[in-house]
Amino acid sequence: MRCTIKLDESRLELKAVFNIDRDKFTDKLAEEINHFWGGAEFREDSAGSHFNAALKLIGSKCFEEIAFNNFKSKSWLVDQFDWSKGNGVEGFPSFQEAGLELVEIDTWFIDDDLLDIEFSE
């Protein structure tokens, strides 16, 4: 017997809220963040700007970090981006350097009610 367990991501909603200091998180910094990886032009076109693309990259990395480190705090997550604390995430400045304040982030917890099970022979 084979069992497939599926998560319909349309039923999963996560949110991260940032305060942004535009004197630090400039369009130039956003472009540098976006261009760190290949596909920058695609992300810029898709998101509408380097600024939006960089924020999406940061948000994605935040959710990834919190997903694989259950029950960690907001301050723990911010520290993961901080090079001066022996951490740092490749391609990103610390939140302090970037003028980002993480106000809140939803943890990645998948309730079993969101899962569907299918059996096959």
pLDDT tens, residue by residue, 87-100:
999 999 999 999 99
Q: Are 95 and 78 in contact (CB under 8 A)?
A: yes
Residues in the chain with pLDDT values less than 70? 11, 70-71
Count: domains in the chain: 1
**For position 19, what pLDDT does the model report?**
95
Distance CA 66, CA 64 (A): 6
pLDDT tens, residue by residue, 26-45:
999 999 999 999 999 999 99
Instruction: Tell me the two tokens of residue 95.
Output: 């939140």
**For position 2, what pLDDT does the model report?**
83
Give the helix/strand (H/E) hosting 102. Answer: strand 100-105
Which residues span the domain enclosing 20? 2-120
